Amino acid sequence: MKRYSAFAIAKEAFRHQLGWERAWRSPEPKPEYEVIIVGAGGHGLATAYYLGKNHGITNIAILEKNWLGGGNTGRNTTIIRSNYLQDASAAIYEKARSLYETLSQDLNYNVMFSPRGVAMLAQTHHEVRGYRRTARANAIQGVETEFIGSEQVKALCPIINVDGPRFPVLGALWQPRGGTARHDAVAWGYARACSDMGMDIIQNCAVTAVRRTGGTVTGVETTRGAVGCRKLGIVVAGHSGVLAAMAGFRLPVESVALQALVSEPVKPCMDIVVMANTVHGYMSQSDKGELVIGGGADGFNNYTQRGSFHHVEETVRALVETFPIISRLRMLRQWAGIVDMTGDRSPILSKTPLENCFINCGWGTGGFKAIPGSGWAMAELMAKGEPGPLAAPFGLDRFREGRFIDESVAAGVAH
C-alpha cells in the first residue's frame, strides 16, 4: 500500500494526481474464507481490521449489500464520547474513544478525530443528580469527565442560552476528550487497511441465506454466489433481525428510523459538542461549518431510511430554544438511518444459537462512537470463540437472566 504522507501529496501535485492507488481492491468473491463478516460498515470493517491486526486472521471476506460505509456509518452525527454510567458501557466506549485518539496514525488515513469536548446539559434537577452520579462513576471507571456549572457551560459555548424560561441550563456533564470524527473517513480508512492486509471487501453483494450443517454455520448464499466460511460475523445494524432470521434465530431487537440534519455552512460559532437530553436535541459544528443536528428516534418499526417530520420539528424547536442565534440559519439536508434498538438499549456482542456464528448489533442511536472498541471486542470474540472482558457483559444471555445494562437511568436517551 502506498503510504499517505505530505511528501506523497507534494509528489502527486506535480504529476496531476495520477499516481494514487485504489484505496481498496474490488475483488470477485472466492469460494471459501476463514471468516466472513456481513456488513461493511464501520463496525464490520473494524472487526475485520482487528481480526487481522490483533489476531493474525486475514483470510476474510467482508460482504456488503450496497456500498461500504453507506449505512449508519455514513448517516450519523459523528459524536464520540464515553461518559456512560454502567461499568460495561464505560469500558467499551472508552476503549473505542482511546483508539480514536490514534486511529489516523494507525490507519494512515486522517479520520479527523477532533477531541473538542462533549457537554451533556443538565436541565432538570433530576438530570443534575443523574450526571453528578455519572461523573462520580466515571471517576472510578477511569473515564475523564466532570460535572460543570452553568457559567462554565456558557464559557465553553457562548451561544447557549443558559437562562431559558422553561429548561434553564443547570450544569453539564463535561467530557473534554470527547468529540467528533469524519464518519466516511472512518469506514474508508478501515477499508483501505483491511484491503491492504489482503482481505476482500465485496460490495453490491447481498446475503440471501445462511448455510448451516447441523447447528454449525458453513457459509452464506449471496447475490454473487455461495461463499463458504468457518466463522460468520453478522454486523449489519438495522438489518440484524433479517440476517438473524436467515440464521434461524430471533433477536431482542427492533429497527426504527433515527433522523439527523445539517444546516448550511456558516463561519465557526460553536467549538464543542452539546447534547440536551431533556429537550431531545444535540448539535455540533462540522469543520465545513455546517451545524450537525440530531434528536430522538421514531417510535415504530421502520426499514425505509425515512423518518417523520414532526421529530425534526421537535429537535429543531429544542435547539432553537437552547441556541437562540440559530433561528435564522437554515436546514440544508435531512435524512434518516435505520437503527437497531435492543430491550435495554445497550448493544449485543455475542455468540448465537448457531455455532461459529457471532453477532454484533443493537448499538441503537450511538454506534459511531463505539466503532473501534466494538471491532476490537468483536474480533476477540470471533478469534477465540469466547468473549473477552469488553464483550462479556453484552451477551444475549443477559436478557434471559434479567442482567440489563440500562443507561437510561442517568439520561432519558442513550445517544
Residue from 351, 361, 347 nearest 381 by CA: 351
Shortest reach from residue 230's CB to another protein, in Å = 27
Q: Does 126 participate in binding another protein (rule CB under 8 A)? A: yes
152 near 160, Cβ under 8 Å?
Answer: no
Binding to another protein (CB under 8 A): which residues in 233-262? 239, 241-242, 245, 250-255
Task: Give residues with Cβ within 8 angstroms of 401, minimum separation 6.
Answer: none
The span of 43-51, 216-224, 331-339, 378-386 binding another protein (CB under 8 A) equals 331-339
* Closer to another protein by Cβ: residue 158 or 385: 158
Binding mask 30-69 for another protein (x = CB under 8 A): ------------------------------------xxx-
Cα(116)–Cα(72) distance, integer angstroms: 22
Report phi then psi at 314, rounded to 5: -65, -45
Interface residue with another protein among 151, 208, 216, 303 (CB under 8 A) is 303
Q: Does 332 participate in binding another protein (rule CB under 8 A)? A: yes
306 near 258, Cβ under 8 Å?
Answer: no
Which residue type is seen at 149?
A: G
Q: Does 386 participate in binding another protein (rule CB under 8 A)? A: no
Interface residue with another protein among 263, 356, 365, 374 (CB under 8 A) is 263
Q: Does 317 participate in binding another protein (rule CB under 8 A)? A: yes
The grid coordinates listed for 273 are: 459538542
The span of 54-62, 206-214, 222-230, 330-338 binding another protein (CB under 8 A) equals 330-338
Range 92-126 burial, b when 16+ CB lie within 10 A, else e: bbbbbbebbeebbebbebebbbbbbbbbbbbbeee
Binding to another protein (CB under 8 A): which residues in 155-194? 161, 164-167, 182, 184-185, 188-189
The span of 39-47, 54-62, 121-129, 219-227 binding another protein (CB under 8 A) equals 121-129
Q: Does 268 participate in binding another protein (rule CB under 8 A)? A: yes
Q: How far apart are the first and last CA of the chain?
A: 36
The grid coordinates listed for 139 are: 471517576
Interface residue with another protein among 137, 157, 234, 354 (CB under 8 A) is 137
The grid coordinates listed for 164 are: 431559558
